[in-house]
Structure formats: C-alpha cells, structure tokens
Amino acid sequence: MNKSIERKLAALTKKAKEHGRKAEAKAPVSSSLHKVIKTKEQADLFMKLLKEA
C-alpha cells in the first residue's frame, strides 16, 4: 500500500475516532447470503471454502 493511501486511511480513522457520530444501534444483518445459510455445518463449510479459495 503506498504512503499516500496509508496517510488517507490514518486521517479518516482519526476523524472517525475523534469526531465521528455515535455508532448506530445494532440491527440484524440482511443479505441473500445470510438468508441461505441456515445451519452451523453449512456456515463452517462455507468459511472453510472461503479461507481456502
């Protein structure tokens, strides 16, 4: 990662931590992926495949 991007990332993170608005209340995640995964076995297999891909 070049220095210019690193500086921009550091500046944005600083802005968020020091002057950012309060984080929103938690809301359930809703996506097609989260809807199709219904069991722990499915989720574990998916994460295994994702890490190995």
Partner 1 sequence: MAVAFNIDFNNLYEIDNISTDLRWSSFRSNLNNGQEIPLVVKISNESHALLPNVYNLAFGPLNPKGKIDDKAELNHADYSKVFSTILFSALAYLNNNPDHYLGIDGSDNARAYFYYRAIQRNFRYLDQHFRIFGIKYFVRITRFGKTQYDNPFDFEDIMPYPFKIEKGSRISQDQMYNYFIFNLKD
Using CB under 8 A, list all residues that contact partner 1.
1, 4-5, 8-9, 12-13, 15-17, 20-34, 36-40, 42-43, 45-47, 49-50, 53
> Can you tell me the distance from the alpha carbon of 1 to that of 9, in angstroms, rounded to the nearest whole number?
11
- Check: CB of residue 43 under 8 Å from CB of residue 37: yes
> Can you tell me the distance from the alpha carbon of 2 to that of 34, in angstroms, rounded to the nearest whole number?
34
